[in-house]
Chain A
Amino acid sequence: MLDLSKYQSIGEALKDSLEEFANEVCLIEADREREKERLTFRDFKERAHPLAKALQESGFSAGDRASIIMTNQSKWLITAYAIFFSGGVLVPLDYKLTPEEHWQLLKHSGASVLVTEYPIWRQLSAAEGRAIAANVRTVLVTEAPANADLAGARRWEEFCGESEPVFAPRERKDTACIVYSSGTGGRPKGCMMTHENYLEQCVALTSLYPFWPGVRYLSILPTNHAIDFMVGFFGPFTCGATVVHLRTLRPEYVREAFPKYKITYVSLVPLVLKNLQKGLQARFDGLPAGKRRIFDALVAINKALTKTRPRPWISSRLLKQVHEAFGGELRTIIVGGAFTEPQTLQFFYDLGIPVANGYGLTEAGTAITVNDLKPFRADTVGRPLPGMEVRIVNPAADGVGEVSVRSKTVMAGYLNDPELTAEVIVGGWLMTGDLGRFDEAGHLQLSGRKKNMIVTEEGKNIYPEDIEAAFESLPVKEFCVFAANYIWPKRSMVGEKLVLALHPEQGQQFNDQLRQDINTRNNRLLNYKRIHGVILLDEDFPRTASLKIKRNVLAERLAKLDSEAAILPL
């Protein structure tokens, strides 16, 4: 691994990686059963440098911002490297957002360059929102058909400079990426992550979960997500390891990829991990009685032998068939993005497949705590990573309070929003809005949320303010969206739901027509953003002098209602 303490920027470290590990394979890209390409670090450089040169010739220079909206693939990483090499600031956006949401964030980020795939560009270029983001001057589109209407964009494949590009140095304190943790509909939260944030986080994470040439990481989580950016790009690249991309995420192809590419690490969201568990459990349940007894006995032996620490060599021999289904080389499944239920973590550990469960948020730079497996604990999110100071603010009698963090990995602030930045970074400490306590062993146990938001099992952060636009002009006196847990706090991180608080007009009933209207609007939202039910309140919502709803005061009023009876189903 490179000694990252010597580097000032992501671009500088990656540049040296391409030289240091020139002959190693850095990327494998597959589409279903077909391997599309396999690149060494040398090939990667040969692809990225002409792109960097063309960007520079188009006027892109140090400090300029460029956005990527792409599914996971080689071109994502090649483009990101060309941006960093040129001193640019990367704005990675979630390809699953709607075109209108993309344009809003492109405008907010001030990106002058957009790199995207043709099917996404087809929708983006047709969307009305395009007009608001005049700052986007250059659009590069990948894999466009020969006769495609590019709507003002240029082909990524043909955007090549001929001579060598000039490397643009950056300093540790400079912004490397603007990562949106939320805010697609309301107040955009663009986390300004510095080069130092990434360099420090990479050192901390790889000290627990090392990469080296020959390690293969399966990249499934979107690369715009902090976890995949770190363990599916920057981490493996600075250690000479290989990243495997799949162009389809159908479960059967994901399953095949493990043995085919001898995967060492993979990161998953809890939803996918639970799905894997379900599939394995069904196979175990289908075993004939005799085989099942032998299997259960082997699992029991493995549990006893791995009580204090993982013993991969023993586990892979005891439970050979299970491990072979995962390729036989899988060291750890990294799970993140949302809370994972302890029984799922325990299920995999008992099979000899450790799951690195942790806790983090974009604002803190990927991960704050990670389970170090010394010993494995399914009931916690682990201990703070090296370099992380974590404290519990205003703890109650049971030790539970708000988790706050101080570290070199904490973001510089929210883009163009000093007010919001001052709310979350107080005296150098990042206030996470999550509630938890430390146990005697120094493990963090999360127990709920203080903030008005939910996180889905797919790892999506949903802020109620962001989806209120979908209910604009609803024929009622006023409305407001809440996370049910924010109104009725409960000590849980799963099963979180959104509710719509309604104040009807005088004499107005919650009838079928109104219900239908709400349902129609709700169905236009992506499935994980939909509201779960309605709460009726027959009084004016409390408002500030500027007529904004006082959400905390309204939540207190709603809290007096019985949650079971108050939420009307849709």
Chain B
Amino acid sequence: MTESNPILEVNNLFASTDDLPILKGVSITVYPGEIHAIMGRNGCGKSTLSKIIAGHPSYNITEGEINFSGKNVNSLEPEERAQSGIFLGFQYPIEIPGVSNLEFLRVSTNARRKFLKKEELDTFDFEDLVKEKLELVKMDSAFLSRSVNQGFSGGEKKRNEILQMALLEPKIAILDETDSGLDIDALRIVASGIKKIANNKTGIILITHYQRLLDEIKPDYVHVMSDGQIIKTGGSDLALELEKNGYEWTDNFVKEK
């Protein structure tokens, strides 16, 4: 798997918000087709890491770099990162009243297609494409005519995120607690959707608290984060140990470090 070049390289990343340091030297390297899981207590910096990679304006990178496809993207706008193939699946997808989901998906897909120098899709062609992708997450087409995420249940919002991933065909997808709020059946559908979309080519970072998602999507690497640092990296067994022993067990790694 490591024959090609890394798709994402985060090197010794320090970041803060309102002068409050959140990330304190995070490094992670993802190759195409690899699945990484990041676990850790609430507030350890997992979500922040994902937002910073996507370019959220509330955080300042104070040291280190994010390289995507070999290029430093530290100063790129979020839309530029998205167009070039970075995808963030939100833990809490945002509601946008009045903006139709279909139109949102179309504009978004076309922005990515434009970057890829592919032909932009008109409403009719796009509807064909989106119907095909809806199948992957078993979503009803009625969701297309509603406002973006408005009035969606927790599970529907998460499926809508994966639908976006399916349309954007990113090179790396960071999925922030995509499993939360999903019942077992929905989790299986979403997990199988993710695997199909990734098709062993997309790099994936799963941020999660629970083993049950990792049962569905087996990670190649598991990272444990604590207080803004990755304190332990291992194979998929690490997640099982974590499930068994709880995060208290990981406190020892900090001391080891």
Partners in one complex: no
Q: A interface vs B, CB < 8 Å?
A: none
Q: B interface vs A, CB < 8 Å?
A: none
